[in-house]
Every structure is written in structure tokens, then in C-alpha cells.
A and B are shown apart, each in its own frame.
Chain A
Amino acid sequence: MNWTPELGLGLLLIIPAIGCAGIVLAGKAPNFRDIINLVMGTALLVNVIALVKAVGAGSRPSLVLADIGGGLSLQFTLEPLGALFAALASSLFLLNTLYGIGYMRGTNAKDQTRFFAFFAVAIAASMGVAASGNMLTLFVFYEILTLSTFPLVTHNGDAKAKRGGRIYLTILMATSIGLLLPAVIATQVFAGSTEFVAGGLFAGTLGAGIIGTLLVLYTFGIAKAALIPVHMWLPNAMVAPTPVSAFLHAVAVVKAGVFTMVKIVVYLFGMDVVRDSAVAHWLAILAAITIVIGSLIAMTKDNLKARLAWSTIGQLSYITLGAMIATPLALLGAALQIVMHAFGKITLFMCAGSIYSSNHTTEVSKMNGMGKAMPMVFIAFFIGALSIIGLPPFAGVWPKFLLFMGMTDKADQWLVMALILSSLLNIVYLLPISVNAFMKKAESQENNIADARPPVLTVLPPVLTAAATLVLFFMAVPIMDYLRPVFEGGS
């Protein structure tokens, strides 16, 4: 049987399904299990790369999973935005699997089989989100993603993990069923379908009031995008083991949220409609506020993962902001931010995990002087931080640049101030960590044990992703070209 893009769409779900079954069956033989895991990740990545190429060549493969009747169906259709998200998720998944194996073994975590099995379900769900051809399908996979990551978040099983997990699940489920689902159904009612169509479904058919209401329902319904005030799940989910935080909260879960945000603006509402909406303007302001507040709170956190989590809240709102500004350039910036931030942030998370797995340090204040013990980790951290801050020649600069450019189209240029302020704050709370690790002396002796070297498998992946932020700086133009068909319709 020859590979076709349609088959590739099916494989997006089939490969993780087989992998998940394999992981469960091989649960008694950890080595074999981990090999299955890696093979699955590789196969998925190969498949996604083939799909990305096909989409780049102009193909828009489509696959109906189920036709429910009454105008409802579950359907995959891949377009450049989704292809990019799929490529991002699958490539980082492979790296993260590598890292996860090292981390879980290094920390002697329990129930590793269950852990990796749910990981496989989560990646399948992310693939489903990426490839969804309509909003209903996307919603389904969005929910599966929530449910499948819940056991990962609570993996440690202690009271803290359960409390965090409860907040995680409650906020994500309540917003999605209470706000997002009604929005999806309303879309179906008003537009007759929820299909993602270039130029949007609503253009010229609905009044401003309904558009505004729907926009609010969607924006807060997609709690995974972590806009204030539906952001509280994110810091609470940091109770998870670091590979989970790294992958799910730098890549899959949060990015699924903001990806959905971009997707609805481009394909459901239509960029012109959002641009003309007053409600979108207010939401953009809220996003800007979130950016600043996220960064401010991140500064106050001594726990490294908490600091990164709050930083993520701020960084995600760049994307929401871009989506609400809804000029082609701003949206392009938002789309790029999905990718670039993912690489930067996963680097930081992996480094945090490496530090923890080698000497169980979680507080920033105790990391002084650790650079000598694990130079590679802190160099990678430094590069990741530079990329997040948005300095050339690292990938993170492009989205911010495009957002600046996009916003000058509009009257609310002062929102630029938020971005600048945020970048300054980024410098304040991210750079000193690695600088101090190298420059300062350790306060207490025990933290500076030279032989507490992190496992190789937990060092290699962050180094690779850090290198990737450098490479992506130069790759930005091809990526923009790749995405061009998406935004050409709107401008």
C-alpha cells in the first residue's frame, strides 16, 4: 500500500494507538517498552514530515472519521497551520520521549508504563487537534487531550499532585463544556457547519453582537490558551513530572489552546471580521494585560518551574494578542510564536528537569554556582532564555518582530508597550539564573557536588532544542512562506 496524504492523516491516530498498545503490552519489559516508544515517535515524525511536504506542495488532504448526520461530522483536513503544529508537536515529542525516558529512569519514577501510555494518547490527541477539519472534531480532541493529560499531571500521586490535578481538570473541563461547547454548537447553528473555511464562516452573515459574544465564548472557552482569568490551571499543573510540564505545557496542551485560537480567528470568524470587532479589541487589551501580569508574577517565583509556568502564561498571550489584532502580519507572528516559543520554553523546562533529576533542586536561589557541575545544561538554559526574550540570532525574535509590525497597522499601537515591557521583564527573571549559576559561588556546600551529574538522556535533548532555536532563526523565512497561503485570503 502506497503512502497517500489521506492515509497519512489516518496514521496520525493509528501510529500512537499502536504505540500505546505496544507500551501497555510491553509494560513488564522496560527496555523493550522504551524502544517501542521511540520507534513510535520516529514513525510519527516521519509520517508528519511527509504530510508537511504534501501540504506544502498544495495538497489539502481530507478524511472523514465519522459522519454523524444532522450536519455533524468528525473530519480531518490538514492545512499549513495544522501541518506546522503537527510537525512541531511530533518533533518535540520524539525529543521529549528521549528526555522522559532519561528523567523517569533517573528519578526512579513509579508506574512508568502508565505514564508513557497516556503520553501516547496525548500525542494522538494533539495530532487530532492539528488535523481537525472542523471545530467539532477539534473540540473532541481538545477534550481527549485534557483527559489524557490529567493522569500525567497527577502522576506523582501525592496530595499536592491531586490538588493541582483537580484544579487542572476542573478549570479545563468546566470552561470547555460550559463555554467552548456552546460556542461550537452556536457556530453550527448560525453557520450551518463548523468547518474550517478560508476567510471564515461568519463573514457578512452575523451581527456584531453575536460575533462579540461568540468571540468571548471561544476565547475563554479555550482555557488552554491561559488568558487571565482562566489561567490558574497552568501554574497548578506544574506539580507534574518535568517531562510532562516540558512537553504538555510548553508544547501540546497550551499550544493546542493557542493553535485553536488562531484557527478560529482565521478559519471560523475570518480575520476581517475579528479586526472589525470591538470585542476583539478589548480581548487584545486583556491579552496585553496577561502578558505583563504573567511576567510580573514570574519574577516573584523562586521555584523554577513555577517561574517558567507564569512566563508561559505571558508568552501564550502574545499569540492571543496576535489573533485578536487579526492583521495578517500579527497572525503570522502569532503562528510563528507557537513554534518559536515552544522550542525556547521546552529547552528551559528540560533544563529545569535536568537540574532536578541530578540534585533535586527546584529553587532558583539555590542554583548559584551550579554551572560548573553541569555547564551544558546552563548554557542551553541561557540560549533558551535569550530566545524567549527575543534577541537575535535566536528564533524568538521573529514572532515579536512580526507582532510589532502587525500592530502598527492598527490604532492600538500602545499595546506595543506591553510587549517591550514584557521583554524587559523576561530579561530580569530569566537571564540571571544561568548567569548566577556560572558567576556566583554556591551558598551551601551540598548543592555543589561535582559528581551529581545529570543523566545524558536529560542533557542531550535540551542542548538539541537550544541549538534548534538558533537554526530556526534562519529557517523563519521558509516557514513564513509555508504559512503564506493561510493568510493571503484575509488581507
Chain B
Amino acid sequence: MILESIGSSSAIGIDALWSNAAALVVVIPLIGGAVAALLGRGRIAWAWAVLCVLASFILSLFMLNLVLGGETIGYEMGNWEVPLGIAYQIDSLNALIITLVSAMALLALLFGLPTVEHEIDPKKQSMFFGTFLVCVAGLLGMAATADAFNVFVFLEISSISTYVLVAMGAKQNRQALTASYNYLILGTIGATFFVIGVGLLYMVTGTLNMSDISSILAGMGDDRVVRAAFAFIVIGLGLKTAMFPLHTWLPNAYAFSPSIVGMFLASTATKVALYLLIRFLFSVFQTGSSFETAMFDFVLAPMAVTAMIVCSVQASFQPDVRRLLAYSSVAQVGYMLLGVSLGTAAGLSAGLLHLFNHALMKGALFMAIGLAGLGLGVVRISEMRGMGKTMPFTAAGLTVAGLSLMGVPLTAGFISKYYLVIAALERGWWWAVVAIVVSSVLAIFYVGKMIEAMYLHEPAKHADGSVMKVKTPVLSLIALYILVLANVWFFFDPSLPFGLAETAASALIGGEGS
């Protein structure tokens, strides 16, 4: 009798796991983060964090599979029906983002243990991992939710944890504190703008559920409140996306944060914000309205193109490797925004694909730089000299990821740039194509600088003239190579991200006609 009930309850347990996947994918790392801070030792907290993120990753794969089958997963928190309660909704657009974030978090943790042990005070490690988990959960929550205000709550969770995580670079470099502070100020302004926008939307629609807002807005004419809300939300999320010229917080935040944080943020944080921007632009506000089209053509697109070129130039002049990569990130965000601002399904799917691919390449690059920092204390490009000899595997991984950043065929970076060019030509935006080309050439320069330092310069030598060999932690190297191979794999088979991006884009843009 008792055994039976246990058996049936454990069956319910597994069922409950799958049927609540949408909530658990966020809640597990959220609660897990709190638990991690209680675990006294860094390594135990790390193992716990890996477990939590792994659970999230598995759940996200489960949902991805359902979404690929054509389903849309809805989940009502507290079982309160929409619009009374808060709902999660997983469709082709955010299933990819959720999977990306959880996968990146997992890889970051696999990569990061040795760097954390090196960079973070041992007493603080467990709480550091706890904060990291909270940050992961925040990003996942932003991606999963279908409620405009809930977005704000999780935006805050991810932002505040990010400020903390960035500031933890202070043990290596005190500048991390000012970087974090600047990020905090600008991030808070962004969040405030966002919540003002959501408040204005609530004022005119009386609801917070995104699709509900959208359907009410569809029945309304042009409205100044909606316009103001649009501006506030775009600027608020733009700040988080590092949309030019609102990107000033990003380079220092990425450069001075601990390696694991820089790597994780570079591959996820701006991506999730950009996803939200897309969500609001296309599925909350009315696409095709003259106001939005004008915003796209005269604000978003020029900003995107400027970012692609100006920030690539800035990247070319950075002696600090991570600042170089950070500026390049802003430029790459420009590519994604360009795709979005095209306002066509092709452009949007190209932008989404680039979002995905950029996460892969920047993740790999930051990992490689993190390992270089761990092994050789690399901060500046000049210190990367001879890495091809001292850290051959790391250097090779960095090179492949760098080629992907340039957009060379055989790497994923080519595919997304290709689709972006096609989409831009479809709209006849020649100048955008020229900008893509110019920015790619600049990428050759700044990536080339790293490759040159690694392979063309002699490494530092021991007193006896022998080349210093640096041991690289195996687990970190495995994580790096998973990303590096992904960069190659998604050239040969981009169908997964591209299929999802296309479905999502046509769903978002197609909604305009109905």
C-alpha cells in the first residue's frame, strides 16, 4: 500500500517534471542559487551549480523538442488564467534562446572552475556560484515569460546579479568596481525606462500579458501613450542590448569581470535583451505602422550600421584583449540590429541566426582568453606572444573562433552574415551590405592582431631558453572545444537554429498581415 503510493507518487514526480518544464527551467537555478550560497565550499557549490544548470539544460532541450514538433508551450504560474496571472510561453523564438542560455551556462561552469578558484576569494566562491545561478535564472526568466511586468522582475534579477558578478573581478583589477558601478547606473536607467514603458502600456491596455497587450493595441488607433511606451521600451532594452550609442557600459564590464562572467555575459546577456527587443517590436507593438517603420529605417538601421563600423574601428585599436572582444561584441550587436531593422522575415531570421552564432563565437573567444589569462596572465594582446607554442590547443581554438568572427566560410559566422547580406539586398540596402563588408574587413584586422601575436611572435622563455609549456585544465579545454566545434558544425548544418529562426521570424512578421 505504502510502496504503491510511493511508486505512483514518484511517477507523478517525473510527470510533474516534464509538465512543469517551462517553470522549472527557470525556478531550478533560481532556488538553486539560494541553496548554493549555503554550501560552504567552492567546489561543492560548483558541483551543485552544474547540477542545477544541467537540469535546466535538459528541460530546455525537452521543450525545444516539443517546439520543433510545432507546439507552443504555455504555462500559467499559480494556475491563474491569463490575464489574471503570469504566464510563460515557449515558442520557436524563445525556445532557441532558452536552450542557448542554459547551454552557455553549463559550458561556462564546465570551463570556469579553475578560473574561479584563481580569481575569487575562496570564502566567497559558494556565494559567487549562487549569484551566477541567479543570473542564469534571471536571463532564462526574461526569455521564457509572456508577461511584460514579469520581464522587468527578471530583468532586475539578472541585472543586479550581473553587477555583482562583474564587481567580483575586483580582486584581479580594482577597475572592476567602477565598471560595475557604471553598468549599474546605466542598467538601472535602462530598467527604469523599460518599466515606464510597461506602465504606459498598462495604462492604455489594462493588461500585462504580452499577447493580450498586442491584441488590444491592434484594436486601437495611433496613440501618443503607445508611442511614448515604444520609445521608452526600445531605449530601455536598447541599453541592455548595448545598442549603439547606449553601449558605453559594456566594454569595461566585460573586460574587468571574472573570466567566467565575461564569457557567460558575452554569449548571453545582450542576446536575451535583444530577444526581448524583438519580442516587443514585433509581437507587442504593431509592426508595419508608419511610426515603427520610420523608427526602423531612420533610427535603428543607421545606429546598427554605425555600431558595425565605429565599434569595429575601436576594437582594432584596443590593446586589451577583452576590451577588443567587447567592442567587437557591440559591432556584432549592430549586425543583429541591422537584421531586425530590415523589418522583413528574412532580415529578422538572419539577425536571430547571427545572435545564435555570435554567442557561439564570442563564448569560445572569451573562454580562450580566460584560459590564456589563467595560464599566462594575458591581459593585453602583446602578452599573447607565442601562445601558438605555449598553449597550442587554446590558441587553435581561439583562431577558429576568430575566423568565425570574421565570417570565413567553414565557420558559422559565414552563414549568418550571408543571410544578412541576402536580406539586406532583398530590400535594396546596398549601403548596409557595404557596411557589412567594411566591418568584416576590420574584423580581419583585430582578429588578425591576436593571431599574429600568437603565431608570429616568440613566446616568453625560461632562463635556459626552453619554451614555457602551460598546462591547461582539461575540463575547460573540453568546454572550449565544444564551442569551437559548434562554430564549425553550424556551418555545415545550420538547419536547427536557422529553421527555428525562420519559423519565428515568419510567425512574427506574418502576424502583421492578419
Contacts and interface: CB of A to CB of B under 8 A. Distances in A.
Q: Do A and B bind each other?
A: yes
B498 interface: yes
Interface in A176-218: 177-178, 181-182, 185-186, 188-189
B448 A169 contact: yes
Q: Which of B415, B418, B448, B455 has the most CB of A within 10 A?
A: B418
Nearest to B417: A185
Interface stretch (B98-106, B269-277, B419-427): B419-427
B456 A154 contact: yes
B494 interface: yes
Interface string A243-269: 000000000000000000000000000
Contacts of B129: none
Contacts of B495: 69
Interface stretch (B2-10, B219-227, B357-365, B401-409): B401-409
A189 B421 contact: yes
A139 to B, nearest CB: 6
A136 interface: yes
B76 interface: no
Give the bracket for the number of chain A residues in contact with chain B: 20 to 34
A177 B437 CA distance: 8
Contact of B444 (A72, A178, A185, A186): A178
Interface string A7-21: 000000000000000
A68 B441 contact: no
Contact of B422 (A165, A166, A177, A189): A189
Interface residues of B, number: 27
Given A170-B448, A189-B425, A68 B492 contact: yes
A140 B409 contact: yes
Contacts of A154: 456
B442 to A, nearest CB: 10
Nearest to A140: B409
A6 interface: no
Contacts of B437: 178, 182
A25 B406 CA distance: 32
A72 B491 CA distance: 10
A166 B409 contact: no
Nearest to B418: A185
B158 to A, nearest CB: 33
B424 to A, nearest CB: 10
A181 B411 CA distance: 14
B494 A177 contact: no
A174 B492 contact: no
A165 B456 contact: yes
Contacts of A450: none
Contacts of A177: 406-408, 440-441, 444
A414 B56 CA distance: 74
Nearest to A66: B492
A395 B495 CA distance: 51
B433 interface: yes
A151 B389 CA distance: 13
B452 interface: yes
A166 B444 CA distance: 13
B448 A173 contact: yes
A165 B422 CA distance: 34
Contacts of B418: 70, 72, 185, 188
A188 B415 CA distance: 13
B410 interface: yes
A363 interface: no
Interface in A114-147: 136, 139-140, 143-144
A210 to B, nearest CB: 11
A162 B441 CA distance: 21
Interface string B446-460: 001000100111000
A139 B433 contact: no
Interface in B82-125: none
17 contacts: A68-B415, A68-B494, A70-B415, A72-B418, A143-B410, A166-B456, A169-B448, A170-B448, A173-B448, A177-B407, A177-B440, A178-B440, A178-B441, A178-B444, A185-B421, A186-B425, A189-B422
Interface of B: 406-410, 415, 418-419, 421-422, 425, 433, 437, 440-441, 444, 448, 452, 455-457, 491-495, 498
The 8 closest A-B pairs by CB, nearest first: A178-B441, A140-B409, A162-B456, A66-B492, A182-B437, A185-B421, A189-B425, A173-B444
Given A68-B491, A140-B409, 6 more contacts: A70-B418, A144-B410, A169-B448, A173-B444, A178-B441, A181-B409
